Structure 1
Amino acid sequence: MDYTQLFQFSGDRVLVIGAGSGIGREAALALGAHGATVVCADRDSTTAAETAAMIGGSAIATQLDVLDLDAVRAAADEFSDISALVFTAAMNVRKRIADYTMEEFDRVVNLNLRSSFSLIQAFAPKMAANGGGSIIGFASIRAYVVEPGQGVYAATKAALVQLARTAAAEFGPDGVRVNVIAPGVVETPLTAQIKNNPEWYNAYAQKGALGRWSKPEELAGAVVYLASNASNYVTGSVLMVDGGWTAVDGRFDPPNS
């Protein structure tokens, strides 16, 4: 076993959906730095092209709206040779259950869950036909722990965990691995509402063991790991990258005595 090759992607093409910004962009940059040929996909073709330019080399950009089922299926045909698929697109409407509209419910469920299902449904069989591959989705700590106003978002992320586990069971015999990463609080456009509220921001920062928020680039290593040969026997798993949020359950730090 040549362990120096565990994190090398030379000759492998990977598709990152949501590559135009945030975690998706950092994941694309990290995969490119390890030798992968990266296809940067995003609903915003301009930001996708910016990411591809940052990677350089053979990286390309493509426009993809994951809510468009025909476009997702066409992408699966066009990029049927990929060794890894990473998808990060998500949204959240922070409202208590009694205040939610069904239109808001549908928007969150369609982007967070329905699109995840359609991506797995479209790409997993292609990977299986090629002898295997890695699919990586993004759940959240909200799949496990919640707070008021997180109901629909949390439900979609919990559902994604079970969807990934089921896909791992169904496509595992053909060599397709399916895993999810569960971040804690990350400084992205999705969390701008919280970040701009000092009281909210500081409360979240103190919840985890590390006492701070994470940055998008701190999720990139988890993506590289799950896409690489280093995780060949890892499937149906949730990789928590939450700074200890779900490990620390107390809200009070008792005195030493």
Structure 2
Amino acid sequence: MSDHSHLKAENLFSCKGLTAVVTGGGTGIGLMQTLALVENGAKVFITSRNEEKLKDVAKKYGGSNNQIIPVQGDISNKQGIEKLVKEIESQAKDGINVLFNNAGIAGEGSREGYEDVNKEDAQAFSSQLLKSEFKEWDDILHTNVAGQYFTAAAFIPLLNTGAKTQKGYASQIINVSSISGLMKSASGGQFAYAASKAALVQMTKVMAQEFLPLKIRVNQIAPGIYPSEMTAGDSDEHTHKSDLSDTEKGKGLPAGRPGKEEDMAAATLYLASYAGVFVNGQFIAPDGGATVASPASI
């Protein structure tokens, strides 16, 4: 009988030997991705501005082999990104295999009370939208689009090194966008956030094509509603995880619930593991059916 062990899930979806970087890896979706990678054999560098939280996550979930390495840094400026790259480079001599561009921000002045505004009243609707500020738009687009661009650009050499040292694996960038960049709605008044994520959707396609000569793949995950500090408002100080169980968020989806960490882990592992090495320039939208039930650009 021939051997088909290469088709077993534990081999297909293995991340053994891989080194990943997850920006914003200390909470929310970034933490879900980090845990999925670590539980399947990867070493993960997690980054954010909150060093104390990163260290606690590494201590709680990194295991005896210290599979999670915290690196404090800020992706909103070149100096912060350069600091991250240098520190990770000093600890990853063989480069990295996956960069999760996950860090992002949301929220703007027009969101508060948006659902209650009378959109048929031109003056009321105008006043609602004008509660946003140019500075809020600047900050959101700066972090969610420019920050992802400069982070990807800075990690290219480490990804290139990783591709040369890890046999059978083509390095990749996985941009974490959002269904807010696909839906034909303002995500409860988050016009700037939706615009930033739509820009990231397009930028991912451009990167995938432009990075072909480097043999660096670029894919994306566009999550729906998941428990995070962004959707829940905070995270547990001990687990660093968020909870939506006492809210109505996600209940109106065809799936009848918000996403769980298992759902995000499944999407993460498909793209990041050896199972996804034939995938380039694509996106996965683990969203509970949101983009099917509501008008969207897919």
2:265 to 212, 217, 220: 220
Alpha-carbon distance in 2 for matches of 1:203, 1:39: 31
Amino acid at match of 2:62: I
Structure 1 contact 85–134 (Cα < 8 Å) conserved: yes
Aligned to 1:109: 141
Provide the rounded CA distance (Å) in 1 between the counterparts of 2:28 and 2:262. 8
Structure 1 residue identity aligned to 2:200: L
d(CA) in 2 for partners of 1:71, 1:150: 27
SS in structure 1 opposite 2:84? helix
Distance 1:224 1:51 in 2: 20
Counterpart CA distance in 2 for 1:92 and 1:58 is 31
Deviation at 1:217, TM superposition (A): 4.5
| Deviation per residue, 1:115-165 (Å, 9 max, x gap) | 111111111343235434121121111111123512110010000011111
The answer as to whether partners of 1:134 and 1:226 remain within 8 angstroms in 2 is no
Spell out, residue by residue over 1:178-224, the C-alpha distance to the aligned partner (whole angstroms, 9 max, x if none). Answer: 1111111112110135x99x8xx537421x21111123443122112
The reply to whether residue 246 of structure 1 matches residue 291 of structure 2 is yes
TM-score by length of 1: 0.87
| SS across alignment from 2:289 | coil
For the residues of structure 1 that align with 2:228 and 2:209, how far apart are their CA atoms?
32
Conservation of the 8 A alpha-carbon contact between 1:182 and 1:238? yes
CA distance in 1, matches of 2:83, 2:107: 30
Matched, 1:159 2:233: no
The question of 1:192 aligning with 2:224 is answered no
In 2, distance between residues paired with 1:173 and 1:98?
44
User: Which residue of 173, 176, 181 corresponds with 1:135?
Assistant: 173
Runs of 4+ in structure 1 off by over 4 angstroms are none
Corresponding residue number in structure 1 for 2:251: 205
Q: 1:58 aligns with which of 66, 71, 88?
A: 66
CA distance in 1, matches of 2:282, 2:230: 24
Confirm or deny that 1:179 pairs with 2:187.
no
1:55 positional shift? 2.1
* TM-score, structure 2 normalization: 0.75
Taking a change above 3 Å as real, the CA distance of residues 249 and 22 of structure 1, as seen in their structure-2 partners, is: closer
| 1:233 paired to 2:278 | yes
Q: Could you say which structure has the larger radius of gyration?
A: 2
Q: Which runs of 5+ in 2 are unaligned?
A: 90-94, 111-127, 164-169, 234-242
2:123 aligned residue: none
CA distance in 1, matches of 2:129, 2:282: 29
| 2:13 partner SS | coil
Contact 1:139 1:157 in 2 (8 A): yes
Unaligned runs of 5+ in 1: 251-257
Residues 67-76 or 231-240, more deviating: 67-76
Per-residue Cα deviation, 1:200-253 (whole angstroms, up to 9, x for no partner) = x537421x2111112344312211221111111212112000000001138xxx
CA RMSD, aligned part only?
A: 2.4
Q: How far did 1:68 drift?
A: 2.8
Structure-2 change in CA distance of 1:98 and 1:226 (3 Å) = same
Q: 2:174 aligns to what SS in structure 1? A: strand
Letter in 2 for 1:85: L
Question: Is residue 67–residue 110 contact of structure 1 (8 Å, CA) maintained in 2?
Answer: yes
1:88 partner amino acid:
N
